[in-house]
Structure 1
């Protein structure tokens, strides 16, 4: 009965906020064009404010918040994504796989330029995804391809049908994240409602459910794996972790961080080290097995080439990289992304190793905090930071005291200004404003804020080592 009191007390307010959210999500899903930047900002800002109010008012009624999360996602079921074109490539890959082709061996251009149409609605999908996407090999790992294949199986000739199937998969993953996330929060004695800063966040609902980005599925496997790891089921945790990697490669960056989790938590370091190597071995073996149906010399060349483009060719919504690029322009007179891009992985690897060997990482909060800081460093230095990338930071933050990812999930909407013009040229003043907000909160939380109780800044945590 106690769980229902907040709704009784704020019944009228709750009804008004919920109806307002449903209406705004409906408008967002079916009537908004991403080039209408002013409307986009206004709608998103209002939704974020309403979301913040809902979580704060009903934080003791998690069943009600879960109902809100389901209802808001349901508004997008029949909508074609309006802020991203990537889903056209998802549909293409799934249908290509269904026709018996290896999607890693062919660009879309390689068919269309010859007048070949290996899948239904080939021309529509080609025009929808755009020339840039069509000219490159796919970079989506095998379990992600399986999701595309499932959509093709159920909707071989319908774009909307494929969208609905993929959307249902992503929604199911979100509620899987809710299930295991709540259990993780209870293990570390953190309020369960923290999870709704992720589950109910308009950023998550719009970017994952609305725009069909599969970070949500990757996050589900990652949180499930962390839960299993915390319960001592490290073998199954390794298998599930490899599933996460096989949706998106980004969890690979977390693997070194579990070094002390194993080596300092067992009766002997030797036993911990053996389990650590076994964990890595299982992740590697399962990942190879998942990739094995597609393996060939051409696959390796195409895949590594495509992944490399994210470091040495693509640029979007970057921060520190844009500063380095400006310095390069000043002294060299041209864009040095090819040179700068080679050093970014070195910097990231160096920081990962520092966090691996100079942080404790023995408890779940310590481990997740390190994961959050490592991934943040990567995005701070990256050449490309698409809005949906922030989803992983946001889910990790709910298990920590850091709030800058929540702030970033609001500020990230500023990056969509690039779509106002046909050339997708970014306004660097707007990007600067986005990162001014994010870095201000990050610096305050990670460096300047004084420790309070169990809360410690990153600097204070390192000083304790």
Structure 2
């Protein structure tokens, strides 16, 4: 043991420092304290990167560290997001046989109804924005919420623990399938820790209970099976991924060259049918109206940490004198759709490495043009990037912390100079990678 400590004293120092930083982040941080948040976050990036560099050939140690960092958050109340209150609200509704898509929390309180245990505390915790809008969380996500509510009983902290366990289990699954996929692509298996040890992933997914990690587990498993030519099982897992978060829908056109027309039609059909089965228990006229209106809000009402949209918004004010989000949001969504079709038509997506690169760029284009880019949204692009030669998404996962400055201001006000700095750095690194580095020869079937 003494010899081990002597040989590994520097990596151990970095590991213990990370533990101290994560513990402080989990239990002694207010979202409004931007200086402390920024310092801890930046420090964790440096410490995690050095630890990864020193242990990159010891996957067992890296995996153990990744799990331990997550377990430090196990009993913490999320401190950067209120969304978990809505997760528990929806889960308890479903557990009591109530369709969570039919009425907003505001609607229940306006009717004088407290439909679930702890309704008042959950209602006050989720905030006015969540309480006033229909739920936008997809069916498989709702099932996880209900399962956590069942296992956690009437305790909010116990329900939080179970939600975390699901997310940590998903990350372990990402390690399992991601490592296998990297091996088949002749890439270093340790690359998966560029995702698993990234502070953004640990803090925003495990810490703040965002379910992108669960969605990505199903997605990477589906891609691994697709690479193995097991496309029927891949379609099953792909539909599960969409049923957790809708984001993977954008990747379906990119699969066409990999599958060929006949298999692609069958793949899309299986995915669509399975997705319909997930939605079927919730379907009603009210569901269609509420769910799609809630999704539409992200394109026509909400604004946060947007890139090109803020520039377009400024131009709109100069030309029209008002915020043109109701027009610009759908127009930018259309640009994203056309961009994905172009990636589908002109990229070498028949090879799995080319497909993964196209998927990464599709997600990056989507986030560049989106009207709302919360930090955890970048998880998708970040995971896909570990299967490519590109590292600019890693830089973005660091720079995105600047968006939290808004919460240190009364009324949540963004500093657009910081937003501009974030996107300028990301675009600069991306441009350097694309135009200054020689592309590597594609490998992997």
**TM norm structure 1:** 0.93
Match of 1:18 in 2: 15
Match of 1:267 in 2: none
**How do 1:65-214 and structure 2 match up within 5 A?**
65-214=62-211
Inter-partner Cα distance in structure 2 for 1:453 and 1:444 = 15
Q: 1:246 aligns with which of 243, 249, 252?
A: 243
Q: Give the root-mean-square deviation of aligned CA atoms.
A: 1.5
Inter-partner Cα distance in structure 2 for 1:453 and 1:440 = 20
Inter-partner Cα distance in structure 2 for 1:115 and 1:34 = 32
Deviation, structure 1 residue 151: 1.0
Alignment partner of 1:104: what SS? coil
Q: 1:376 aligns with which of 364, 368, 378?
A: 364
**How do 1:33-432 and structure 2 match up within 5 A?**
33-263=30-260, 273-432=261-420
Deviation, structure 1 residue 156: 2.7
Aligned length: 442
Structure 1 unaligned regions, length at least 5: 1-5, 264-272, 457-465
Inter-partner Cα distance in structure 2 for 1:351 and 1:165 = 39
CA offset digits 1:256-308 (Å, max 9, x no partner):
00111012xxxxxxxxx221100000000000001000011111111111111
Q: Is the 8 A contact 2:354 2:442 kept in 1?
A: no
**TM norm structure 2:** 0.97
Alignment partner of 1:157: what SS? coil
CA offset digits 1:305-331 (Å, max 9, x no partner):
111111111000001000000000111
Flag as ranges the 4+ runs of structure 1 deviating above 4 A.
6-10
Alignment partner of 2:401: what SS? helix
CA offset digits 1:108-143 (Å, max 9, x no partner):
000112332111111111111101110000011111
Change (3 A) 1:215 1:88: same
Inter-partner Cα distance in structure 1 for 2:423 and 2:4 = 37
Inter-partner Cα distance in structure 1 for 2:186 and 2:396 = 25
Q: Is the 8 A contact 2:144 2:163 kept in 1?
A: yes
CA offset digits 1:194-230 (Å, max 9, x no partner):
1101001111000000000000000000000000001
Q: 2:431 aligns with which of 443, 446, 464?
A: 443
Match of 1:266 in 2: none
Change (3 A) 1:256 1:10: farther
Change (3 A) 1:434 1:425: same
Structure 2 unaligned regions, length at least 5: none
Inter-partner Cα distance in structure 2 for 1:314 and 1:43 = 28
Inter-partner Cα distance in structure 2 for 1:222 and 1:67 = 23
Change (3 A) 1:103 1:184: same
Match of 1:454 in 2: 441
Change (3 A) 1:325 1:452: closer
Inter-partner Cα distance in structure 1 for 2:212 and 2:14 = 28
Q: Is the 8 A contact 1:401 1:455 kept in 2?
A: no
